[in-house]
Each structure stands twice: as structure tokens, then as C-alpha cells.
Structure 1
Amino acid sequence: MMTPTVLITGCSSGFGAATARLFADRGWSVVATMRDPASGDDLARRDTILVTRLDVQDAESIATAVALTRDRFGRLDALINNAGFGLSGVFEETPRTKIVEQFEVNLFGLMDVTRAVLPIMRQQRSGTIVNVTSGAGVFGLPLISLYTASKFAVEGFSESLSYELETLGIRVRLVEPGGVTSTRFGERANTEAAQAERIEDYAPFLAGAAQVFDAIRANRSGATMEDVAEVIFAATIDPSDRLRWVATDDIKPLVTARREAGEVRYMDMMRKQFRPNLSS
């Protein structure tokens, strides 16, 4: 039986690194990609992991990484689109250049990598594409409007793409994690937010919202990067038509409310979380 091959983006840390290790542990050949391959020295020490450069904002690096995968392994059974970052802060304070970067990485880069692997999967008439989104791709929250917009876009793109690819034997999956403290995601989001020029009119809202988010963080489920990697692996090998996989327990109540409660009821619930803070 031929060893299956997976290409994973964003493997320098976080979900990507954990997922690369897990797939290798489960007997897969892994192409672990990242902007700076020197960051993947620990992965490169493993015989079944090939570390190579892929920057989702660099079309040439995408083409090179996919060609290397095809030439080395002769096939590609799964693509894990994991690379991404989050912008945090008030929309009005965020420079347009950062907004463009948010979409280039989280959406357009994901699309470019997907487009690059599709000829291989079409020829095989098989393959699985797993797009890692977020609870913020299901429900909106203040102060991450741009990250949310990019992840909502990935959710809609993935659902639509799944219908196009189904008859070719190619499956599309969405994995939706919540908060995992062991990643560096929040670190970059906070760094980006700190560079914004403040607008004082938002100060009362920010102070109140901070209390809400502190409470949310305090109730996190304790999920780890490895827990999310397990869900990514399960979604990849699952033979059913299931599209969406919620990866951490902390966001399940909000996901359920967003998808199952009526619009008026859901919006009222969310506004009550933040509206009282407008006058604080």
C-alpha cells in the first residue's frame, strides 16, 4: 500500500507543527512548509517529514513547494491550509495595508495554494483539502472584525468549493478551533494591535470589552495544539460528506447558538454581552 502524502502550510509553530508531527506519527509522508525553513529544524530531523519553504504571499514559493511534493512523492493525498494570522483591534484604527495583508494571508494565500494542488488531485481523482478557520469564522466578535471577515470568507469559499470538487473525488473540510493558549496566535495579534493609532472615542467600549474577553479566556476548555491536530487528522481521513468540524469545546455553545438559535435571539444575546459597556 502506497504511503499517503500531506502538504501542510504554516508549520513553523502552533497547529501546523503539531499537525505535521501527528501525521508523521500516523505513517504519512509530510511536506511541512513555512516561510523560513530554518524554523523547522526539529521537524526536519524526522525521516518522514520534508521541510521546505512556502510563503502564501509568494506565488513562486507555492509553485516550487507543490512541484517538489509531486516530484518527490508522486502524489498528494491531503492539503492542510493552516497558515494564517489574526488582526486585533478597532476597525477604524487599522491601516488599510494591514487589512490587505490579513486577506492576502488568510484568504488569497489559501486560495492560491489550493489552486496549485488541484491539478494533482484532479488527475488522481482523489484528495482532501482541510481549511483551518476559527470559531470567528462562524460568529462575529468585536475587535477582531478583520480576522472574522477573512475567516467567514474561507468558510463560504470552502462550502462552495466542496460542491465543485465532489464529482472529482476531492473532499473539502473545515476545522474550526477556538482559543488554544499554547499557540503564538494571540502574541502576534496583540503585537499588531499595539501598533495602531488610538482613537479615544472607543476607549469606554474597549475597557468594557476587555472584561468580557477576560471572562471568555478564563473559561477556555484547556485544549492544546495536539488536540486540534487530532481533529484535523480525523477530518482528513473521514470518508463521509461532513464539511465542518468544531475543534475545541470552548466555542461549542456559541457555535450552537449561532447555527441553531433564531437570528433575533442570537443577536440579542450577543449585544447584551457588550452593550452595557458602552456607557462604562
Structure 2
Amino acid sequence: MTNIVITGCSTGIGFATAKYLQSHGIKVYATVRDERHLNPLRANGLEHAMKMDVTKPEEISAVIANILEDDGKIDVWFNNAGYGQPGAIEDMQTYVLKEQFDVNVFALHECTRQILPIMREQGFGRIIQHSSILGLVSLKARGAYSASKYAVEGLTDTLRLELKGTNIYPVLLNTGPITSSFRKTAMKKLKENIDIENSIFKDEYKATLSEDKTTVPFNEEAISVAEIVYEIIVAKRPKPRYYITRATYLLVYLKRVLSTARLDKILFKI
């Protein structure tokens, strides 16, 4: 049976993907940072749920060892865990940017670094890296998140070249707006880490916090990601990257055909 490890499965994309893949005959090791989320996952039929804080290398090693003891292999690893830190560049203290990179980049790199020797030894594998449309274009007040996803793009593009000729495929997911708890977490991080009252962007921040974002243009449900992940698993040779949501396709197209100045005029309004 094909198996997969998914990070960040407590809610949203990770949870929906875990459920979907399991229903399609994939053995899913759904991992979460907080052990309090294990019982809800198991109650939803994800019996192989495991605790793994991706910022702790020893927990990554333990999960890999346990899976290898059970199955002797790891077919697919999905680096899904991450969050978005909003705020203007000038309002963001450096430690806040470091925290964003700790989860979105350095933890992803550590997972990738640890799983690669296993996949090289077994002679196959797929590593799915959850990037974003914001890893290809940038939006104001999204600098930390965008920078982290640009980094994921660079690491994965390089890894793909380094793995040429092997049967190991690194794959990028460029998602747009997806129904999840992403915005809720982002708003919490905005209030925690940005000095809103003393910012030149105070009014914009307050407007953002008060916005009703129950309806987002081009938004799709998390099942859209789950279906693509399944496509990657069953493909004989997966594509290097997959665009998810119409927003991603639209912005990528505009970046290709417009000058930087013209594209900036559009992005400024988003």
C-alpha cells in the first residue's frame, strides 16, 4: 500500500487531504504539532495520526523511524505545515521574520533533508512542497510570508536539478485562496507581532482586522488541494509544479505578459 506523511494536519488543507487520500486507499500518517489534536484526527478515522513539531529535528527523526519500522518505506512526504505573518516590512522586527522562516522554510528544509536519504536508499519517492501564489508574486503587507515561499521555490527548484536522473520527484504546489483557518491564524499573528497603533499603516491594519472575509474571490475548498495531491501520487511522472485556484492561474499569466510596473498597479489594488 502506498503511504504518505503529511505535516500540519490539525485543520484545513492538511486535514482535508489526509481524509481524502485515506478514502482513496492511501495509508496516511497525519502529523500535528500539538498532541491535543491527535484524538480528533483518530476519531475521524485517521488511525495513524502522530505528533510531530516540524521545528524539532528529533521529532521528525522519531516519526521517520516509527514509520520505517511499520512499513519499511515512505513513498510520499507532503510538507504542508506553515502559517502567514502579515505586516508591512518596516513594521516587522527581524525576530518575527525569523519565526516565519523557522516554520515555513527551515522546518520544511529539515524534513526534506531527513527524508531524502531514505528515498535515495529505497530508490523512489515524492516530496510535495506547499508553496503559494505568493511564492511567485508579492502583495503588500505579505512580505514575510511571500519571502518564505520564494525561499521554498528556490530550494525546490534547486533540489529538482540535484535529483535529476533519480526516481525521486520534488513537486511544488502553488495554491491561491483556500478555505482554511489560515486567515484566522494570520490575524492573530498581526495583533501579536505588529505595533498597529504606532504604524503608518494603522488604518489599513484596522480595516483588515474588521473585514468580513467569509467570501473571497476565486476561493476554493481544501478538497481542490487534496485532489491534486492524489494526482501527484498516482502519476507515473508528476509535473514539477501544480497551480491550484483560478487566482493562481490569473496572477501567473499577468506576471508573464505584463511589465513589472503594470503588474504592480494591479497588485497594489489587491
TM over 0.5: yes
Which has the larger helix fraction?
A: 1
User: Match for 1:143 among 135, 141, 144?
Assistant: 141
Aligned pairs for 1:1-280 (under 5 A) are 3-45=1-43, 49-180=47-178, 182-195=179-192, 196-198=194-196, 199-203=198-202, 206=204, 220-240=217-237, 242-258=239-255, 260-262=256-258, 265-271=259-265, 274=268
Aligned to 1:167, the other structure's residue is in SS state coil
After TM superposition, the score normalised by the length of structure 2 is: 0.90
Query: Residues 232 and 238 of structure 2 are in contact (CA less than 8 Å); yes or no, is this contact kept in structure 1?
Result: no
Q: Give the letter aligned to residue 236 of structure 2.
A: P
Pick which of 149-158 and 236-245 moved more.
236-245
Separation in structure 2 between the aligned mates of residue 140 and residue 251 of structure 1, nearest angstrom: 12
Aligned to 1:148, the other structure's residue is in SS state helix
1:4–1:164 Cα change, 3 Å: same
1:40–1:226 Cα change, 3 Å: farther
1:160–1:273 Cα change, 3 Å: closer
1:237–1:167 Cα change, 3 Å: same
After TM superposition, the score normalised by the length of structure 1 is: 0.87
TM-superposition CA deviations, 1:28-70 (whole Å, max 9, x none): 1111111123313233246664111111111111111111111
Query: Residues 21 and 43 of structure 1 are in contact (CA less than 8 Å); yes or no, is this contact kept in structure 2?
Result: no
Q: Give the letter aligned to residue 161 of structure 1.
A: L
Separation in structure 1 between the aligned mates of residue 32 and residue 23 of structure 2, nearest angstrom: 20
Aligned to 1:111, the other structure's residue is in SS state helix
Question: What is the CA-CA distance between 1:237 and the residue it aligns to?
Answer: 2.7
Question: What is the CA-CA distance between 1:269 and the residue it aligns to?
Answer: 2.9
Aligned to 1:176, the other structure's residue is in SS state strand
Aligned pairs, how many?
Answer: 266
Separation in structure 1 between the aligned mates of residue 158 and residue 73 of structure 2, nearest angstrom: 25
1:178–1:79 Cα change, 3 Å: same
Separation in structure 2 between the aligned mates of residue 250 and residue 230 of structure 1, nearest angstrom: 17
Separation in structure 2 between the aligned mates of residue 47 and residue 197 of structure 1, nearest angstrom: 42
Query: Residues 88 and 193 of structure 1 are in contact (CA less than 8 Å); yes or no, is this contact kept in structure 2?
Result: yes
Identity %: 29
Aligned to 2:49, the other structure's residue is in SS state strand
Separation in structure 2 between the aligned mates of residue 133 and residue 238 of structure 1, nearest angstrom: 20
Can you give the 5+ residue segments of structure 1 that lack an aligned partner in the other structure? Answer: none
Aligned to 1:221, the other structure's residue is in SS state coil
Separation in structure 1 between the aligned mates of residue 180 and residue 158 of structure 2, nearest angstrom: 30
Question: What is the CA-CA distance between 1:121 and the residue it aligns to?
Answer: 0.6
Aligned-pair Cα RMSD in Å: 2.5
Question: What is the CA-CA distance between 1:82 and the residue it aligns to?
Answer: 0.1
Can you give the 5+ residue segments of structure 2 that lack an aligned partner in the other structure? Answer: none
Separation in structure 1 between the aligned mates of residue 83 and residue 167 of structure 2, nearest angstrom: 30
Separation in structure 2 between the aligned mates of residue 65 and residue 183 of structure 1, nearest angstrom: 25
